Amino acid sequence: MKKKSLNVKKHSHKKLFRNLKNLKIKRIYNIFKNSLKNNDDSQNLAVALSGGPDSLALCYFAKCYGIEKDINIFYYIVDHKLRTNSSKETNQIVVFLKKFNIKCKVLTWRGKKPTSNIQSTARESRYTLLFNQCLNDKVQNILFGHHIDDLYENFFIRLLRGSGLKGLASFNETKTERGNKINILRPFINVDKKSLTYVAKYIFNFYIKDPSNSNNIFTRVRIRKMINNLKKEGLDNKKLILTLNNLQDSNKTINHYVDQNILLNSNFSKDKPKVILNSRFFQEPNEIVFRSISKILKKIGKKYYYPRGKSVAFVLKKINSKNFKKISLANCIIEKLNNSYIIYKEMSKIS
């Protein structure tokens, strides 16, 4: 690197760290660092950007962390091309971040766009693009800017959908993807959006406002407004967090027995998306069997989301019937063979 470029880079770094003298920003940075305390400094990190205040705050703290730890940070932003100005806004973010020596890679969602269930489909597409890029860049950990307000929203969305314990408690867990090769980390899950917006304004004095965030056609927007109304009626955030923590502890206990059931009563193929389940697999308590089969279907079908609860319940009912032979779900085929069951990816051969 040329001496002039190196001096510009050092000056930019000093300017970034100077902002940490602000006690409020320093406090959030410490939360950010503490969330990564178990991270191996030899591993690369990626940041999932959207251009909103929470993701730009994440971008800033990740940049500081990368400089401090001397590790490589990748910055990705997805252009869904769902709105007329999406590419223009994406390019605006990329150009803007260059001023802070932050190089951002644009991942474009190509192909036909959905006309219904838009946000959910776009979210799944975004995750797929991000995870595939992580594999290409050999990144082990990807950071998302989800915050405590997202946690509340997901809790109520899932509650209204009739989700069980797993759905209500699992959002703030550390997750792994692509055969346990990628870790999803959410360092701001205990930080509110208001604080992250403060950081984005203070550091960058810039962020993109997504018009869909105020469109009542989307469930999440209506839930967000409902939560604000509940707060006016006395919703206690501390008690809600306590409830979520208790649910998560119970969820971890059940997950332990789910993992044991899969370990002891299933046999995965090493070279094909296929697994054989013995009859004991289905003799565990209902919740254990339900989660076990959901986890296997997600893995074999190579899906980001678990299959719908109603669909899994229907399949289990069919499996327990006397005349069960074969059924499909979540891009998988479930077939009975003597006293065992085989699950394989749809359109693939089982031999």
* Dihedral pair phi/psi, residue 308, rounded to 5°: -60, 140
Q: Would you say 304 and 127 are in contact if contact means Cβ atoms under 8 Å apart?
A: yes
Higher pLDDT: 177 or 74? It is 74
Segment 181-224, tens digit of pLDDT: 899 999 999 999 999 999 999 999 988 887 777 778 888 889 98
Q: Would you say 109 and 80 are in contact if contact means Cβ atoms under 8 Å apart?
A: yes
pLDDT at residue 156 is higher than 80: yes
Per-residue pLDDT at 186: 94
Confidence of residue 84 (pLDDT cuts 50, 70, 90): confident
Rounded-to-10 torsion of CA 336, 340, 345, 347 = -40
User: What value, to the nearest 5°, has the Cα angle with vertex 153 and ends 179 and 150?
Assistant: 60
Which residues belong to CATH 1.20.59 in the chain? 240-345
Segment 235-280, tens digit of pLDDT: 888 888 888 889 989 999 999 999 999 999 999 998 889 999 999 9
**How far is residue 175's CA from residue 291's CA, in Å, rounded to a whole number?**
15
Which residues belong to CATH 3.40.50.620 in the chain? 3-235
Higher pLDDT: 218 or 170? It is 218
Higher pLDDT: 41 or 295? It is 295
Rounded average pLDDT over 81-97:
87
CATH superfamily of 3-235: HUPs (3.40.50.620)
Per-residue pLDDT at 206: 85
Per-residue pLDDT at 6: 53
- CATH class name, domain 240-345: mainly alpha
Burial class of 217 by CB neighbour count within 10 A (0 to 12, 13 to 18, 19+): exposed
**Token pair of 151, please?**
């946690």
Q: Residue 276: which H helix or E strand, with range?
A: strand 274-277
